[in-house]
A and B are shown apart, each in its own frame.
Chain A
Amino acid sequence: MKSLSTEILVIGGGAAGLSAAAEAAAAGAKVLVAESDLHLGGQLVKQTHKFFGSKDEYAGTRGFKIADILLSEIDSCKENVEIHTNTTITGFYPEDGIFTAMRGEEKFFHISAKKTIVATGAQERLIPFPNNDLPGVYGAGAVQTLMNVYGVVPGKRVLMVGAGNIGLIVSYQLMQAGVEVAAVVEAAPRVGGYWVHAAKIRRMGVPILLRHSIKKAVGDQVITGAYITALNDRFEPVGEESYMDCDVICIAVGLSPTTEILSQAGCGMMYVPQLCGLVARRDRTMRTSNPDFFTAGDASGIEEASAAMVEGRIAGLSAASSLGYPTEHGKLDEYWGRLQALRSGEAGARICQGLECVLVNRWEDVSNG
Chain B
Amino acid sequence: MADDLDLFNSGVLTGEREGAVLPDRTLWESKKGGVVLVECPQRIPCNPCHTSCPTGAIRPFADINDTPKVDHSLCTGCTLCVASCPGLACFVIDLTFSGDKALFKLPYEMLPLPEKGQKVWCLNRTGDCIAEGTVENVTQPKKDRTYVIHVSAPKEVVGEFRTIRAVK
**A interface with B by C-beta (< 8 Å):** 49-55, 59-60, 62, 163, 175-176, 178, 186, 189-191, 194-206, 208-210, 304, 306, 341-348
Tell me the chain B residues, 36-77 only, with Cβ under 8 Å from chain A.
Answer: 39-48, 51-52, 63-65
A344 touches B63 (CB 8 A): yes
Using Cβ atoms and an 8 Å threshold, which residues of chain A touch B79? none
Task: Tell me the interface secondary structure of chain A in the complex.
Answer: mixed
C-alpha spacing A347/B111, complex, angstroms: 32
A176 touches B12 (CB 8 A): no
Task: Tell me the interface secondary structure of chain B in the complex.
Answer: loop
Nearest A residue to B89 via CB reads A196
A342 touches B86 (CB 8 A): no
Using Cβ atoms and an 8 Å threshold, which residues of chain A touch B125? 199, 202-203
C-alpha spacing A80/B132, complex, angstroms: 59
Which of B9, B85, B162 is close to A189, meaning CB atoms less than 8 Å apart? B9
CB distance from B26 to the nearest CB of A (A): 28
C-alpha spacing A223/B104, complex, angstroms: 41
Q: Mark B79-121, 1 if CB is under 8 A from A, else 0.
A: 0000011111100000000000000000001110000000000
Can you report 9 residue pairs joining A to B where beta carbons are below 8 Å apart?
A50-B86, A60-B52, A176-B109, A176-B110, A197-B87, A200-B87, A202-B10, A203-B126, A341-B45
Nearest B residue to A49 via CB reads B86
Knowing A203-B125, A204-B127, the reply to whether A345 touches B65 (Cβ < 8 A) is yes
Using Cβ atoms and an 8 Å threshold, which residues of chain A touch B51? 54-55, 59-60
Knowing A196-B89, A204-B127, A346-B44, the reply to whether A210 touches B9 (Cβ < 8 A) is yes
A202 touches B111 (CB 8 A): no
B111 touches A52 (CB 8 A): no
C-alpha spacing A89/B144, complex, angstroms: 37
Using Cβ atoms and an 8 Å threshold, which residues of chain B touch A347? 44
C-alpha spacing A223/B128, complex, angstroms: 29
CB distance from B53 to the nearest CB of A (A): 12
C-alpha spacing A163/B12, complex, angstroms: 14
C-alpha spacing A161/B25, complex, angstroms: 42
C-alpha spacing A175/B111, complex, angstroms: 9
C-alpha spacing A210/B126, complex, angstroms: 15
A59 touches B46 (CB 8 A): yes
Using Cβ atoms and an 8 Å threshold, which residues of chain A touch B149? none
Q: Mark B135-146, 1 if CB is under 8 A from A, else 0.
A: 000000000101
A208 touches B11 (CB 8 A): yes
Which of B45, B109, B126 is close to A306, meaning CB atoms less than 8 Å apart? B45
Knowing A194-B42, A202-B127, A344-B65, the reply to whether A59 touches B48 (Cβ < 8 A) is yes
Using Cβ atoms and an 8 Å threshold, which residues of chain A touch B162? 203
CB distance from B145 to the nearest CB of A (A): 8
Q: A53-B64, A194-B44, A198-B10 are in contact. List 6 more A-B contacts (CB 8 A).
A: A191-B10, A196-B88, A197-B87, A199-B89, A202-B127, A206-B127
